[in-house]
Amino acid sequence: MPIITLTTDFGAKDYFTGATKGAIYSELPDVTIVDISHQVSPFNIPEAAYIIQNAYSSFPKGTIHIIGIDSELNEENKHIAIKLDDHYFICANNGIMSMICAEIAPEKIVEINIHDKLTSSFPVLDVFVKVACHIARGGTLEVIGKSINEIKPIKNIVPYVNEDKTQIIGSVIYIDNYGNVVTNIKRSFFETIQKGRAFEISARHYKFKKIYKKYSDIVNFDIAENKRNDEGKRLVVFNSGDFLEIAVYKSNPATVGSASTLLGLEPLNTISVHFIPNKVVNTPDNMPQALSNTNKY
Q: Is the pLDDT of residue 287 over 70?
A: no
Average pLDDT over residues 238-245: 96
CA distance 263 to 43: 25
141-to-89, 109, 131, 147 alpha-carbon distances in Å: 11, 8, 9, 9
Does the pLDDT at position 246 exceed 60? yes
Instruction: Determine the average pLDDT of the residues in 239-257.
Output: 90
pLDDT at position 289 over 60: no
High-pLDDT (> 90) share of the chain, %? 71
State the pLDDT confidence band at 74, using cuts at 50, 70 and 90.
confident
Residue 288 pLDDT: 42
Express each pLDDT in 31-67 by its tens digit: 999 999 999 999 999 999 999 999 999 999 999 999 9
Q: What is the pLDDT of residues 124-181, one digit of tens each?
A: 998 999 999 999 999 999 999 999 999 988 876 789 999 999 999 999 999 999 999 9
Contact criterion met (CB below 8 Å) for 194 and 165: no
Closest CA to 272 of 201, 183, 193, 185: 201
pLDDT at 285: 46
On average, the pLDDT of the chain sits at: 89
pTM listed for this prediction: 0.86
pLDDT of 206 above 60: yes
Spatial separation of the C-alpha atoms in residues 55 and 131, rounded to whole Å: 21
pLDDT of the residue at 224: 74
Q: Is pLDDT above 50 for 279?
A: yes
**Residue 263 vs residue 238, higher pLDDT:** 238
pLDDT in tens, 166-185: 999 999 999 999 999 999 99
Condensed to tens digits (0 to 9), the pLDDT of residues 189-198 reads 999 999 999 9
- What confidence category does residue 4 fall into, taking pLDDT thresholds of 50, 70 and 90? very high
Q: What pLDDT, on a 0 to 100 scale, did the predictor assign at position 157?
A: 77
Q: 97, 153 in Cβ contact below 8 A?
A: no
